[in-house]
Protein backbone atom coordinates (compact mmCIF):
# COMPACT_ATOMS: atom_id res chain seq x y z
CA UNK A 1 0.00 0.00 0.00
CA UNK A 2 1.24 3.49 -0.90
CA UNK A 3 -0.11 6.81 0.41
CA UNK A 4 -2.15 9.24 -1.70
CA UNK A 5 0.03 11.35 -3.98
CA UNK A 6 2.85 8.78 -4.05
CA UNK A 7 4.84 9.02 -7.28
CA UNK A 8 7.37 6.31 -8.13
CA UNK A 9 10.64 7.06 -9.88
CA UNK A 10 13.19 5.07 -11.84
CA UNK A 11 14.69 3.84 -8.55
CA UNK A 12 11.33 2.38 -7.56
CA UNK A 13 11.35 0.60 -10.92
CA UNK A 14 14.75 -0.85 -10.09
CA UNK A 15 13.28 -2.05 -6.79
CA UNK A 16 10.40 -3.64 -8.72
CA UNK A 17 12.87 -5.45 -10.98
CA UNK A 18 14.69 -6.84 -7.94
CA UNK A 19 11.43 -8.09 -6.38
CA UNK A 20 10.33 -9.57 -9.71
CA UNK A 21 13.63 -11.36 -10.21
CA UNK A 22 13.59 -12.75 -6.65
CA UNK A 23 10.11 -14.12 -7.30
CA UNK A 24 11.32 -15.74 -10.53
CA UNK A 25 13.78 -17.82 -8.52
CA UNK A 26 10.85 -19.82 -7.14
CA UNK A 27 10.41 -23.00 -9.19
CA UNK A 28 6.64 -22.72 -9.68
CA UNK A 29 6.89 -19.13 -10.99
CA UNK A 30 8.96 -20.20 -13.98
CA UNK A 31 5.70 -21.23 -15.63
CA UNK A 32 5.70 -17.70 -17.07
CA UNK A 33 7.97 -18.93 -19.84
CA UNK A 34 5.09 -20.95 -21.25
CA UNK A 35 2.47 -18.21 -20.92
CA UNK A 36 3.87 -15.91 -23.56
CA UNK A 37 2.70 -12.34 -24.03
CA UNK A 38 3.67 -9.47 -21.79
CA UNK A 39 4.37 -11.67 -18.79
CA UNK A 40 6.90 -13.70 -20.80
CA UNK A 41 8.56 -10.53 -22.04
CA UNK A 42 8.88 -9.10 -18.54
CA UNK A 43 10.59 -12.25 -17.31
CA UNK A 44 12.57 -13.56 -20.29
CA UNK A 45 15.90 -11.98 -19.34
CA UNK A 46 15.92 -13.50 -15.88
CA UNK A 47 14.80 -17.01 -16.87
CA UNK A 48 16.29 -17.31 -20.36
CA UNK A 49 18.90 -19.83 -19.29
CA UNK A 50 16.55 -21.88 -17.13
CA UNK A 51 13.27 -22.37 -18.94
CA UNK A 52 11.44 -25.37 -17.48
CA UNK A 53 10.44 -28.35 -19.59
CA UNK A 54 7.65 -29.45 -17.28
CA UNK A 55 6.01 -28.78 -13.94
CA UNK A 56 8.16 -27.65 -11.02
CA UNK A 57 8.88 -29.85 -8.02
CA UNK A 58 6.39 -27.64 -6.16
CA UNK A 59 3.51 -28.39 -8.52
CA UNK A 60 1.42 -30.06 -5.80
CA UNK A 61 1.27 -26.70 -3.95
CA UNK A 62 0.67 -24.40 -6.94
CA UNK A 63 -1.28 -26.64 -9.27
CA UNK A 64 -4.16 -26.60 -11.66
CA UNK A 65 -5.45 -29.58 -13.54
CA UNK A 66 -6.64 -29.93 -17.10
CA UNK A 67 -10.08 -31.54 -17.23
CA UNK A 68 -10.65 -31.26 -20.98
CA UNK A 69 -9.28 -34.63 -21.97
CA UNK A 70 -9.55 -38.26 -20.99
CA UNK A 71 -6.27 -37.81 -19.10
CA UNK A 72 -5.67 -35.39 -16.28
CA UNK A 73 -2.60 -33.16 -16.50
CA UNK A 74 -1.26 -31.15 -13.58
CA UNK A 75 0.64 -27.94 -14.18
CA UNK A 76 1.91 -24.93 -12.22
CA UNK A 77 -0.29 -21.83 -12.03
CA UNK A 78 0.22 -18.27 -10.84
CA UNK A 79 -2.22 -16.13 -8.89
CA UNK A 80 -0.92 -13.31 -6.68
CA UNK A 81 2.50 -13.58 -8.32
CA UNK A 82 1.10 -11.88 -11.44
CA UNK A 83 0.69 -8.68 -9.41
CA UNK A 84 4.39 -8.62 -8.52
CA UNK A 85 5.48 -9.62 -12.02
CA UNK A 86 3.49 -6.73 -13.56
CA UNK A 87 4.50 -4.22 -10.90
CA UNK A 88 1.09 -3.53 -9.33
CA UNK A 89 0.71 -1.11 -6.43
CA UNK A 90 -2.28 -0.22 -4.25
CA UNK A 91 -2.19 3.56 -3.95
CA UNK A 92 -4.46 5.59 -1.69
CA UNK A 93 -6.86 7.96 -3.43
CA UNK A 94 -7.25 10.34 -0.51
CA UNK A 95 -10.92 9.38 -0.16
CA UNK A 96 -11.18 7.44 3.09
CA UNK A 97 -9.61 3.99 2.79
CA UNK A 98 -10.19 3.84 -0.97
CA UNK A 99 -7.27 2.76 -3.14
CA UNK A 100 -6.59 2.47 -6.82
CA UNK A 101 -4.40 -0.13 -8.51
CA UNK A 102 -1.55 1.23 -10.61
CA UNK A 103 1.06 -0.75 -12.52
CA UNK A 104 4.25 -0.44 -14.50
CA UNK A 105 2.97 -2.98 -17.04
CA UNK A 106 -0.42 -4.30 -18.17
CA UNK A 107 -1.66 -7.55 -16.67
CA UNK A 108 -1.95 -10.61 -18.93
CA UNK A 109 -5.74 -10.18 -18.87
CA UNK A 110 -5.43 -6.65 -20.29
CA UNK A 111 -2.73 -7.71 -22.74
CA UNK A 112 -4.92 -10.50 -24.09
CA UNK A 113 -7.61 -7.98 -25.10
CA UNK A 114 -5.19 -5.93 -27.18
CA UNK A 115 -4.18 -6.31 -30.79
CA UNK A 116 -0.64 -6.98 -29.60
CA UNK A 117 -1.63 -10.44 -28.37
CA UNK A 118 -1.62 -12.46 -31.58
CA UNK A 119 -0.11 -15.69 -30.29
CA UNK A 120 3.54 -14.72 -30.70
CA UNK A 121 5.78 -11.77 -29.84
CA UNK A 122 5.63 -9.28 -32.71
CA UNK A 123 7.76 -6.34 -33.78
CA UNK A 124 4.93 -4.02 -32.65
CA UNK A 125 4.84 -5.64 -29.20
CA UNK A 126 8.60 -5.33 -28.86
CA UNK A 127 8.51 -1.69 -30.00
CA UNK A 128 5.82 -0.85 -27.45
CA UNK A 129 7.72 -2.70 -24.70
CA UNK A 130 11.09 -1.08 -25.46
CA UNK A 131 9.55 2.39 -25.73
CA UNK A 132 7.85 2.01 -22.35
CA UNK A 133 10.96 0.52 -20.73
CA UNK A 134 13.12 3.40 -21.99
CA UNK A 135 10.62 5.97 -20.69
CA UNK A 136 10.54 4.26 -17.29
CA UNK A 137 14.32 4.07 -17.01
CA UNK A 138 14.62 7.74 -17.97
CA UNK A 139 12.09 8.69 -15.31
CA UNK A 140 9.56 9.81 -17.96
CA UNK A 141 6.81 7.22 -17.37
CA UNK A 142 4.06 7.03 -14.78
CA UNK A 143 2.22 4.06 -13.38
CA UNK A 144 -1.10 3.42 -15.12
CA UNK A 145 -4.53 2.28 -14.03
CA UNK A 146 -6.17 -0.61 -15.87
CA UNK A 147 -8.38 1.95 -17.65
CA UNK A 148 -5.32 3.82 -18.92
CA UNK A 149 -3.72 0.54 -19.99
CA UNK A 150 -6.88 -0.39 -21.91
CA UNK A 151 -6.77 2.98 -23.66
CA UNK A 152 -3.07 2.66 -24.46
CA UNK A 153 -3.40 -0.89 -25.75
CA UNK A 154 -6.52 -0.07 -27.80
CA UNK A 155 -4.28 1.74 -30.29
CA UNK A 156 -2.99 -1.67 -31.31
CA UNK A 157 -6.38 -3.22 -32.17
Closest CA to 81 of 115, 58, 97: 58
Q: What's the confidence (pLDDT) of residue 35?
A: 78
Q: What's the confidence (pLDDT) of residue 75?
A: 43
Q: What's the confidence (pLDDT) of residue 62?
A: 47
Residues lower than pLDDT 70 in the chain: 30, 33, 48-79, 157
Q: What would the pLDDT profile of 121-131 be if each residue is shown by its tens digit? A: 999 999 999 99
Q: What would the pLDDT profile of 54-65 be if each residue is shown by its tens digit? A: 555 554 444 444
Q: What's the confidence (pLDDT) of residue 56?
A: 52
Task: Please answer whether residues 101 and 155 qualify as being in contact, where contact means their C-beta atoms are separated by less than 8 angstroms.
Answer: no
Q: What's the confidence (pLDDT) of residue 76?
A: 44
Task: Please answer whether residues 46 and 32 qualify as being in contact, where contact means their C-beta atoms are separated by less than 8 angstroms.
Answer: no
Amino acid sequence: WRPPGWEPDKYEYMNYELRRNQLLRLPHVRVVAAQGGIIWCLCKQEIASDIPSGPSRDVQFFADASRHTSHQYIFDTLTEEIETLCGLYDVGTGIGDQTTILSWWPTPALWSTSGLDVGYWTHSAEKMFQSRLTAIREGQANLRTSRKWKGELSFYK
